[in-house]
């Protein structure tokens, strides 16, 4: 049993690194459907369940300190890719469709929670709020909401299972729909001329930043940690508003604001920030999982069914909106996956329609990463009232 905080952190770091190396070296269909981040969670949770990690004061102190430092740092780095000037250029139709997808997901969570509330474990509304943050902005926002709402680790495990199983099915379903885009657009009477124009503009101005090294990595690491520490100190001094807006919430807001400001400067055009932020994400997931317990996993089927109900309500609302407002399948699909899948899958779906549209998927997913935390907070307000 590990009782020393330093050894606890080092052991978790070694474990996450091992999973990352295996995922890269082996790859294949297994890691396509069971990503490394899920294996990290399951592995760390099993180690906690079987007594590898203790509840000593040293371990608890290391857990809270490292997680509290890395959360805002990770978010700030991810937002360096979010140039609001480019997102605005996507046009009102795509932006409104994105927000429609976000609010339909929140509506799906609300309807499902109301209908199935009697089958859930206590504290499920917190886990659903965290999952809502993921399904409107990516896994990083889910981790952030877990910290803000103090979601019980056991219930958080159910949400992570939903995030894997239901998400995977939804991604496959959206890719299956791509060849049917023509028929869908005819049914909705959509005008796709704006997509052709956007394609031409993106092909003409496409740029990429690929080179980075030691200086960029250590620079981003230092920047992220100092912003996180400063945001934490300031956030602790700001007033608490309700159940969700506390010192942690203020810290996240401050860190995200710094990230957005830097995104429109030369800092946002330097490569390497996403690599550092991904490392932080893996570590944070490992930390959270190290406090989980799988003894209640027999309830997982109820949560998986709930996940499909949420996606059904989301899809139904989106189809109705597409018919009413004459929206095309590309806009609908990428908006949905930019919320539920994030940067990992929205660009791939966009590329399935046209390779030059991949940046649109990236920008919409980045918009989700910016707003996912706030959508999750909104969901928490709604679900906590039932």
Q: What is the pLDDT of residues 19-38, one digit of tens each?
A: 888 888 887 777 766 667 77
Q: What is the pLDDT of residues 93-113, one digit of tens each?
A: 788 888 999 999 999 999 999
**CB-CB contact of 364 with 94 (8 Å):** yes
Mean pLDDT in the chain? 82
pTM value surpassing 0.85: no
Q: How confident is the model at residue 287 (pLDDT cuts 50, 70, 90)?
A: confident
In order of 83, 95, 357, 363, the CA distances from 194 in angstroms are 21, 14, 12, 17
In angstroms, the CA 271 to CA 69 distance is 22
What pLDDT does 205 receive?
45
Q: What is the pLDDT of residues 182-199, one digit of tens each?
A: 889 889 998 877 666 655
DSSP-assigned beta bridge partners for residue 53: 2
* Residue 208 CA, distance from chain mean position: 23
Percent of the chain with pLDDT over 90: 20
Question: 118-122, 248-252, 341-345: which has the minimum mean pLDDT?
Answer: 341-345
What pLDDT does 203 receive?
52
Q: How confident is the model at residue 163 (pLDDT cuts 50, 70, 90)?
A: confident
**CB-CB contact of 367 with 338 (8 Å):** yes
What pLDDT does 87 receive?
56
Concatenated DSSP letters of 207-242: -------HHHHHHHHHHHHHHHHHHHHHHHHSPPBT
* Structure tokens, 1: 């049993």
* Structure tokens, 240: 């608490």
């Amino acid at each position: 049993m590990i009782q020393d905080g330093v050894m606890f952190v080092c052991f978790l770091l070694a474990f996450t690194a091992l999973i990352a190396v295996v995922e890269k070296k082996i790859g294949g269909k297994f890691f396509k459907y069971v990503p490394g981040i899920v294996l990290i969670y399951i592995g760390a949770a099993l180690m906690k369940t079987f007594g590898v990690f203790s509840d000593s004061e040293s371990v608890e102190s290391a857990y809270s300190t490292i997680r509290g430092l890395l959360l805002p740092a990770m978010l700030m780095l991810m937002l360096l890719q979010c140039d609001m000037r480019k997102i605005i250029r996507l046009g009102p139709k795509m932006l409104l469709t994105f927000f429609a997808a976000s609010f339909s997901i929140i509506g799906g969570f609300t309807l499902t929670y109301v209908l199935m509330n009697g089958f859930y474990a206590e504290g499920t509304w917190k886990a659903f709020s965290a999952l809502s943050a993921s399904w409107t902005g990516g896994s990083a926002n889910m981790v952030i909401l877990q910290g803000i709402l103090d979601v019980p680790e056991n219930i958080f495990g159910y949400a992570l299972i939903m995030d894997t199983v239901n998400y995977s099915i939804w991604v496959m379903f959206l890719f299956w729909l791509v060849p049917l885009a023509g028929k869908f657009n005819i049914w909705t009477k959509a005008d796709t001329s704006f997509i052709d124009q956007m394609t031409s503009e993106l092909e003409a101005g496409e740029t990429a930043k690929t080179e980075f090294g030691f200086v960029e990595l250590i620079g981003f690491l230092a920047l992220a940690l100092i912003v996180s520490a400063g945001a934490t100190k300031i956030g602790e001094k700001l007033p608490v508003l309700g159940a969700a807006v506390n010192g942690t919430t203020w810290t996240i807001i401050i860190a995200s604001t710094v990230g957005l400001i830097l995104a429109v400067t030369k800092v946002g055009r330097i490569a390497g920030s996403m690599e550092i932020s991904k490392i932080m994400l893996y570590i944070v997931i490992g930390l959270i999982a190290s406090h989980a317990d799988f003894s209640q996993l027999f309830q997982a089927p109820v949560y998986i069914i709930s996940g499909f109900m949420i996606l059904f309500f989301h899809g139904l609302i989106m189809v109705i909106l597409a018919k009413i407002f004459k929206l095309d399948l590309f806009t609908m699909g990428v908006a949905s996956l930019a919320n539920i899948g994030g940067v990992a899958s929205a660009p791939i779906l966009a590329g399935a329609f046209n390779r030059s549209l991949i940046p649109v998927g990236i920008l919409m997913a980045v918009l989700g990463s910016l707003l996912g935390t706030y959508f999750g907070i909104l969901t928490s307000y709604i679900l906590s009232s039932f």
